[in-house]
Amino acid sequence: MAHFTKLTPEEKRVIVQKGTEKPFSGKYEDFWEEGTYVCKRCGAVLYRSKDKFDAKCGWPSFDDEVKGAVRRAPDPDGIRTEITCVACGAHLGHVFKGESFTPKNIRHCVNSISLRFVPKQGYGKEN
């Protein structure tokens, strides 16, 4: 059984109630340390810093996820594709295809508040 971290009201609004943080407000939007991004709610490994890129969209962007870590489902808006943590169902954001930002041609647009960063050994403290 997954261990859930106690969430603040704002974390709960985004992660559980499927909200969105304001663009350019998240702590990982302009953050380039080496390491791993894990689910804020359960700690499952989701993304690696090597797959992060600057899409200039206001949220952290990744062009790949850790295999098997992220679930895709049609968003209730009928247009976008929602991404959630496979381990606990936490709302992460949305995934977009065909924008040509990277050779992989995919962008995981993730709320910083849905993530916790774990630095690579020897690369400083957690943020």
CB 93 within 8 A of CB 110: yes
Q: Is the dihedral of CA 22, 126, 83, 106 positive or negative?
A: positive
Determine the Cα–Cα distance for residues 35 and 89; give it in Å rounded to an integer.
23
The reply to whether 88 belongs to the active site is no
CB 76 within 8 A of CB 28: no
- List the catalytic residue out of 39, 85, 88, 109: 109
CB 53 within 8 A of CB 101: yes
In sequence order, the 6+-apart residues with CB closer than 8 A to the CB of 89 are 71
Active site residues: 109
